[in-house]
Amino acid sequence: MNTKTFASAADLEEKKVSFDQLSDHAYAYTAEGDPNTGIIVGDDAVMVIDTQATPAMAQDVIRHIRQVTDKPIKYVLLSHYHAVRVLGASAYQPEQIIASQDTYDLIVERGEFDKASEIGRFPRLFRDVESVPPGLTWPTLTFTGKMTVWLGSLRVELLQLGRGHTKGDTVAWLPEEKILFSGDLVEYDATPYAGDAYLRDWPQTLENIAALKPAKLVPGRGAALQTPADVQAGLAGTRDFVRDLYTQVKAGAERGENLRQVYERTFAALQPKYGHWVIFNHCMPFDVTRAYDEATQYPDPRIWTAERDQAMWQALEG
Residue 147 and residue 59: Cα distance in Å, rounded? 28
* pLDDT (tens place) for every residue of the chain, 318 residues total: 445 766 555 556 777 999 999 999 999 999 988 999 999 999 999 999 999 999 999 999 999 999 999 999 999 999 999 999 999 999 999 999 999 999 999 999 999 999 999 998 888 888 888 999 999 999 999 999 999 999 999 999 999 999 999 999 999 999 999 999 999 999 999 999 999 999 999 999 999 999 999 999 999 999 999 999 999 999 999 999 999 999 999 999 999 999 999 999 999 999 999 999 999 999 999 999 999 999 999 999 999 998 999 999 999 998
Instruction: Name the phi and psi angles at 278, rounded to 5.
Output: -55, 140
Q: Whose CA is closest to 1, among 218, 280, 267, 241?
A: 267
* pTM listed for this prediction: 0.95
257 three-class SS: coil
Pairing of strands 96-100, 73-77: parallel
171 three-class SS: strand
Cβ neighbours of residue 66 closer than 8 Å, sequence gap 6 or more: none
CB 84 within 8 A of CB 127: no
> Mutual orientation of helices 259-274 and 280-296 as an angle, nearest 10°?
130
Q: What residues does each domain of the chain span?
A: 18-317
Confidence (pLDDT) at 14:
76
CB 258 within 8 A of CB 249: no
Residue 74 and residue 44: Cα distance in Å, rounded? 9
Q: Which residues pair with 262 in a beta bridge?
A: none
b or e along 123-140 (b: 16 or more beta carbons within 10 Å of the residue's beta carbon)?
eebbeebebbeeebbebe
18-317: what fold?
Answer: Metallo-beta-lactamase; Chain A (3.60.15)
Contacts made by residues 226-231, CB under 8 angstroms, sequence distance 24+: 226/20, 226/22, 230/188
Q: Which residues pair with 147 in a beta bridge?
A: 158
Q: Whose CA is closest to 179, among 155, 160, 201?
A: 155
Residue 263 and residue 260: Cα distance in Å, rounded? 5
Q: Whose CA is closest to 301, among 144, 147, 54, 80?
A: 80
Burial of 63 (0-12, 13-18, 19+ CB in 10 A): exposed
